[in-house]
Structure 1
Amino acid sequence: MLISTIEDYISETGKHEDVWFRGVSSKSYSPKPKVHWAGISRDLEDDLVYNFLKDHFKYHSPKNDNPWYLYSLMQHHGLPTRLLDWTKSPLVALYFALTQPEEKKHNPRVWLLNPYRLNSTVLGYERVYCPSQSNLRYIKTKNYFCTKELELKPYKADVSIKLLFDSYLPANLVSDEVHRRLDFPIAIDTIPLDARMSAQQSVFTIHGKDSFDLAKHSSDHLIDYIDIDYSAKEKILQQLFKLGFNEDSIYCTLDSLAQRICRERLSEL
């Protein structure tokens, strides 16, 4: 769907319940994490994580050593991970779609994901978990998701298997001797690290070793999108500013505050 007014955007997103949003500058940006679209090998991924863990104490004193906290921190500061950022706010996603760097005059896009349907499809549970909580680091299941046939299948033996969410994490963040990465992506909730994540209403999908392109599953009602007419981009962005979605309300830093002030006060000079 192509929209050209903020009113149409709000009306269209309002038709969807229990969805997450992700804004990008072009349809060419498929909903995949950087580890996948950049073709980063497992060894290189582990090396990046190792070096971050080794040196991040120079600039940050973590309040806890929870591995999901640390992995979110890496994503938060630009390290390639298996996490993909989403937001619960359609207007935050629209802001990102309209302000991300662009290569050509492409229509910006907002992806819409049903996280409950995704988890029901691949886990058999219509629930979004927060794996950073110690009592939710695993669930018991009698099914597994077959990435070849794209459906849940029962284990042959009549047993319950512990599905370890920590299997998605890089080896350097997992203490188990045997590290086995799962194939499929899941939607997860998170504890905000700071004011920025809180303001952006941040949530994630975390992706396994199989690419499992979410963009190909619109027929399964997992994902949809709204495109914004490029010619209406600036007008809609100005309307977002008036609604309070601007640089410092999104990023919550002194740099973003200065950027907003300069844009508002120096634009006529």
Structure 2
Amino acid sequence: MIQDTLQKASLAELFSLIEKLPGPQGHLFRGQRNAAWSLIPTLYRLTPNIHGGSIAESFNVFEAELIDRFFREGLPYLPPISRSYSNDRALAQHFGAPTRLLDWSEDPLVATFFAVEQWETTTDAAVFMIIPEARFRPEDVKDFKALQSIAFRPPAIDRRIPAQRSMFTFHPHEPKDQPFVPLEQRPNIGINVSNPHGAGGSARAFAKIVIPQPLKEQLFLRLSRIGIDRRNLFPGLDGVGADTAARALSGQWM
């Protein structure tokens, strides 16, 4: 994974970094408010209380039980979409249940917003960018052995999905008998592209941009001024209320 650091609280500087990093187009972006956090799907952060079989098989059973509980308990509130392997996990992930999916956006500004939204915290933030090895629904993939990241577009469950230009990546548990390896620690994730620094050879289309803590507030304010805020990314009164509170905290409520 290539890593770089934003030097100025400038969206132009951010886009300049993005354009320098590997891969011509088709990136997905993910913002994290703490640059030290690893890229691990919520399912794999847990310890399944299931015995027998490999670690991967235990997670398969654990996830299936969590999905079953989500749909059983959530039945009165479910949107009218057809059930399938990918739809079930997209819906569960969207509403906070643990799955093997990670949330991404096709819009780097949306990812940057999620990275710096809590600008008052004392940690650096980060934006990850990746071109996954494949774009398929997981149930349409016959062999996962050569694939570590598979992207798919979720159904428009609610207005947040299109507003945030949401995408999910699916991550199988490999190797099956070992703990899940965080994505940023994997040398061969993301498609192969030409070396972005002109040194010949190739590089993986997977990168991390660190946003130092002192730059977060100004980036948050710049994003707010162009409408990248809770009001627009979370359509509805909850989003309006959260945006009003955030602007009050930053002194930009007018």
Q: TM-score surpassing 0.5?
A: yes
> Among 200, 207, 222, which residue is 2:171 paired with?
207
Matched, 1:81 2:86: no
Q: Deviations over 1:103-161 (max 9, x none)?
A: x622100011112xx23xxxxxxxx2245xxxxx43567xx73xxxxxx5xxxxxxxxx
- Point out where structure 1 has 5 or more consecutive residues left out of the alignment: 120-127, 132-136, 146-151, 153-182
Partner of 1:255: 238
* Structure 2, unpaired ranges of 5+: 49-57, 175-179, 189-202
Higher relative contact order (CA 8 A, sep 6+): 2
Task: Report the 3-state secondary structure (helix = DSSP H, G, I; strand = E; otherwise coil) of the residue aligned with 2:219.
Answer: helix
User: Is 1:242 aligned to 2:249, yes or no?
Assistant: no
Seq. identity, %? 26
Calculate the aligned-residue CA RMSD, in Å.
Answer: 2.7
Is the alpha carbon distance of 1:231 and 1:70 closer, same or farther for their aligned partners in structure 2, counting shifts above 3 Å? same
8 Å contact from structure 1 (residues 5, 232) kept in 2: yes
- Correspondence 1:218-237 to 2 at 5 A: 220-237=203-220
Between the aligned partners of 2:108 and 2:46, the Cα distance in structure 1 is: 27
Distance 1:228 1:216 in 2: 20
Specify the alignment match of 1:68 in structure 2. 86
Is contact 2:130-2:205 (8 Å) kept?
yes
1:92 and 2:56 aligned: no
The one of 31, 36, 39 equivalent to 1:31 is 39
C-alpha distance in 2, partners of 1:238/1:5?
Answer: 10
Aligned match of 1:124: none
> Is the CA contact (8 Å cut-off) linking 2:128 and 2:207 kept in structure 1?
yes
For 1:112 and 1:205, how far apart are their aligned partners in 2? 12
Shift, 1:83, TM fit: 0.6
Which residue identity is paired with 2:115? Answer: A
CA distance in 2, matches of 1:114, 1:184: 11
What residue number does 1:19 align with? Answer: 27
Change (3 A) 1:15 1:193: farther
Q: Distance in 1 between matches of 2:126 and 2:212?
A: 9
Please tell me whether the aligned partners of residues 23 and 97 of structure 1 are also in contact (alpha carbons under 8 angstroms): yes
CA contact (8 A) 2:105 2:111 kept: yes
Q: Which amino acid aligns with 1:5?
A: A
In the alignment, which of 121, 124, 134 is matched to residue 107 of structure 1? 124
Structure 2 CA distance, aligned partners of 1:208 and 1:192? 24
d(CA) in 2 for partners of 1:75, 1:100: 22
Letter in 2 for 1:231: P
Shift in alpha-carbon separation, 1:251–1:34, aligned structure 2, 3 A? same
For 1:184 and 1:51, the matched residues in 2 are separated by: 27
Q: Please state how far the C-alpha of 1:263 moved relative to its aligned partner.
A: 4.3
Residues in 1 aligned to 2:74 and 2:173: alpha-carbon distance in whole angstroms: 26
* CA distance in structure 2 between the partners assigned to 1:59 and 1:256 by the alignment: 20
- 1:264 Cα offset (Å): 4.1
Question: Residue 136 of structure 2 corresponds to which residue in structure 1?
Answer: 129
Counterpart CA distance in 2 for 1:97 and 1:235 is 13
